[in-house]
Amino acid sequence: MNETSTHQPSDANRPAPDHPEHERPRKSHRGVVTVAIAMLSVMVGLVIYSPTLYRMFCAATGYGGAVNRTTTKEIAGKAEGRAIKVRFDANVAPDLDWDFAPEQRTVETRIGEATKVYYTAHNRTNHPIVARATYNVTPYYAAPYFFKIECFCFTEERLDPGETARMPLVFYIDEQLEKDEDAAKTSEVTLSYTFFKSTDQSQGNLAAARALKSGSQALDDELSSSGKAQFSVDAKRVGSGSPVVR
């Protein structure tokens, strides 16, 4: 009698079982990471190229300079506060063909003393360019006490072919810094600017942009004649309200 046997495949030849329950979390995690990276990239781009969004970002995080209030302060005159060193930094985005630098890299001032310095910008090309600057102040715990005049931040600025602008900056460090436990030991502050090329270089935007050279000269003339500057605080003060200017 012939017996019929059922052939059972060996483990080596048996098809690998599907494990959808293991694959789904991996694919899901990869998808979440991809979406998060894409959203972060879009948000960073919008923050850099939109002054309004940049201000909102600063107000929410305290980064770079959220404007809280303004006040008028005499430029002339010496303060009795302790000495503090201020460093100046300047950067340009890779696609912006400008030279941009402070006229002096450091200055020693006193807390409460208004000080005027200059930055310069030069358009190396043979065509007009519109750009805008953003800034930040470090160390961040000292930033709420650093006041400066808004002269070339967050606005569309135009330099014509081969043109050079000399931009005044008046700043002071508020006396309230000495009452902040985290900031009281600050001996050095850095103010850093970065210029970005505008994404809109149309004729309409070129015409609408502020003329950086003549606008800066007019501001400097006004500061020289009035001896006063309108200041704004450069970062959000956490926990105790806005700095008080005496």
Q: Which two tokens stand for residue 58?
A: 């600063």
Task: Name 34's Cβ contacts closer than 8 Å, sequence gap at least 6.
Answer: none
pLDDT band at 241 (very low <50, low <70, confident <90, very high): very low
pLDDT band at 177 (very low <50, low <70, confident <90, very high): very high
Strand partners, 80: none
Q: Are 162 and 192 in contact (CB under 8 A)?
A: no
Q: Could you tell me which of 48, 80, 28 has the C-alpha nearest to residue 246?
A: 80
User: What per-residue string of b and e applies to 8-23 under the rule 16 or more CB within 10 Å gives b?
Assistant: eeeeeeeeeeeeeeee
pLDDT at 153 over 50: yes
| pLDDT tens by residue, 18-64 | 555 555 555 555 666 666 666 655 554 544 444 444 444 444 444 44
| pLDDT tens by residue, 180-231 | 999 999 999 999 999 999 999 999 999 999 999 999 999 999 988 888 887 8
Q: SS3 for 55?
A: helix
The H-assigned helical ranges of 18-92 are 20-49, 51-61
d(CA 84, CA 109): 6
Provide the pLDDT for residue 51: 46
